[in-house]
Chain A
Amino acid sequence: MIEISQLEKIYSTGKDCMIAVKTTNLTIIEGEILGIVGESGSGKSTLGKMIIGLERPSNGSITYKGHPLWNKKKYNRVEAGEIQTVFQDPQSSLDPRMSVKDIILEPLLALSKVERKEKGNRERLLQLIKRVGLKEEHLDRYPHEFSGGQRQRIAIARALITDPSFIVLDEPTSALDVSVQAQVLNLLKELQKERNLTYLFISHNMSVIRYMCQRVAVMFKGEIVEVGDTKEIFEHPEHPYTQKLLSSVLTIQNDTDTQSIILK
């Protein structure tokens, strides 16, 4: 579905250059959840931003169903609402001065009038918010009245209103508590199955990646050092960085389970 080839992003700040993403190749297959893990600053978000048009690649190309997303300096939007995003911080990704209803309907502003009418009708809206676990009376409230998990549900509803096929999820649960994270992950997974969505799932949490993704790409200093089947990579990590990453995960081991790290 998405073909990334020789993609590069170089930020130049004054004299210095900073290579955020280094000649990257990656394929995202329709209907899959592809995970991206890596340490902070390894270029995960930058990669996602180039797909959704927030950062311009310095080199290389991204195609979406064969259609190039970047034409020189300009972002070629496939079709408004086809690619959507959910960001990490639900606090700042929702405009504090807009009601929940306006927030969810906002992406429709980019559509034609006819489509806006069709996709923004009240019935569809109500169905959608119910699906993500919100209530009708929430529509007239403002973001600050919601908890982190609820805000993330609002962000998910907003992403779904246009019926996208592909969603970039940049650390969608990193700001949430375990118990809330579980609710949101369940929702995301169910939605993906129901609507046959494709996700690019960015996270630094290995357990979340293991649970959510069929395939995973490990990023290290701007490069994808390993890509493959999640299970395969978790069981037989090849790259030293992947190995280090996996061995750093602090888990709650059961008494019988000795493979988890026990500190000296």
Chain B
Amino acid sequence: MQINYSSKTLKSNPIWYKLKQNKMTWVGIIILALIVLFSVIVPLFSPFDPNKIDLVNKFQPPSSQHWFGTDEVGRDIFTRILYGARLSLGVGILIIVIAAAIGIVIGTISGYIGGIVDTIIMRFVDMILAFPNLILAMALAAVLGPNLQNAMIAIAIVKIPVYIRLARGEAMLLKEKLFVKSAETFGINKGLIIIKHIIPNAISPVIIQATLDVGDTILLIATLGFLGLGAQPPTPEWGAMISIGWTYLLTYWWYPVFPGLFLFLSSGALNLIGDGIRDVLDPKSAR
């Protein structure tokens, strides 16, 4: 009997066994769960509308009524932050899912087919990867026009190459595996081999990378929002809120601090979870 750590084994085994031992992952999970829980519940019960202007109550400091205070037009910051959580998490996950899906298809084709197709695709990938993430995202968002949708497209474009590379690397390893070679001897066409063998076996590292990336993406969205290249006011987006709140830091500290805190907490929590998942699915990188 061999002890087999393939991810299939883990599927039939309690993943929790390993997760349990990783305390930091649990800290991440708990923080994220709380944020998600609040962002689902609070908007349902909050007496405040995230966008309703109430100039009488502007710049209220944190109190029992406005937990995190109010902003320059009297909106409840706590409510806005939780609406923002819905947006940031939703958009962050959506971008990554799309980027990972596109990346894995292109990457496996590139890696498995090889030859000139691969060369061309990799040229593009190298080109994109030559720029720092943020700079490229900013440039693209600026060119496309500043709104949330374009910011999402920009971030997705920036992120796709990472997945292409990853999936391509996996595909090149898998191409040499005997089970792929045998499939070739059956005379099955290449598309089917990619669908049946390459993608299912290349997907785990892509998922790991994707979980690690959500936190980063949320930061990118916020950054673009902060720079005025993403979601536009009055959308309750964290980056945009921090951007405006920033100018009031010295007088009304709560305005930028609380969105910033949530941004920090949620991207941090996602990173912890990502690390945990990587350790579980990929024993090679575990310490």
Contact = CB atoms under 8 A, between A and B. Distances in A.
Contact of B188 (A84, A96, A110): A110
Nearest to B9: A144
Contacts of B98: none
Contacts of A110: 186-188
Given A96-B201, A109-B192, A144 B179 contact: no
Nearest to B176: A92
A218 to B, nearest CB: 25
B44 interface: no
Given A95-B201, A97-B201, A80 B178 contact: no
Contacts of B192: 109
A261 interface: no
A106 interface: yes
Contacts of A107: 186, 188
A92 B182 CA distance: 10
Nearest to A89: B178
Interface in B131-147: none
Contact of A53 (B6, B9, B184): B184
B201 A87 contact: no
A95 B185 contact: no
Given A92-B177, A93-B179, A97-B200, A109 B186 contact: yes
Q: Chain A contact residues: over half helix, strand or loop, or mixed?
A: loop
Interface string A70-84: 000000010011011
Interface string A127-168: 000000000000000101001000000000010001000000
A94 interface: yes
Interface string B1-38: 10010101100000000000000000000000000000
A29 interface: no
Given A96-B6, A144-B6, A144-B8, A81 B197 contact: no
A240 B245 CA distance: 88
A106 B178 contact: no
Contacts, number: 63
Nearest to A93: B178
B87 interface: no
Contacts of B196: 95, 98, 106, 109
Given A80-B186, A107-B186, A54 B181 contact: yes
A85 B1 CA distance: 26
Contacts of A89: 178
Interface string A6-21: 0000000000000000
A162 B197 CA distance: 20
B183 interface: yes
B170 to A, nearest CB: 13
Given A53-B185, A83-B185, 7 more contacts: A84-B185, A85-B185, A95-B201, A97-B8, A107-B188, A109-B188, A158-B182
20 contacts: A52-B185, A54-B181, A54-B184, A80-B187, A81-B187, A83-B185, A85-B182, A87-B178, A89-B178, A92-B178, A93-B182, A96-B201, A97-B200, A106-B188, A106-B196, A107-B186, A144-B4, A144-B6, A144-B9, A162-B186
Interface of A: 52-54, 77, 80-81, 83-85, 87, 89, 92-98, 106-107, 109-110, 142, 144, 147, 158, 162
Interface of B: 1, 4, 6, 8-9, 177-179, 181-188, 192, 196-197, 200-201
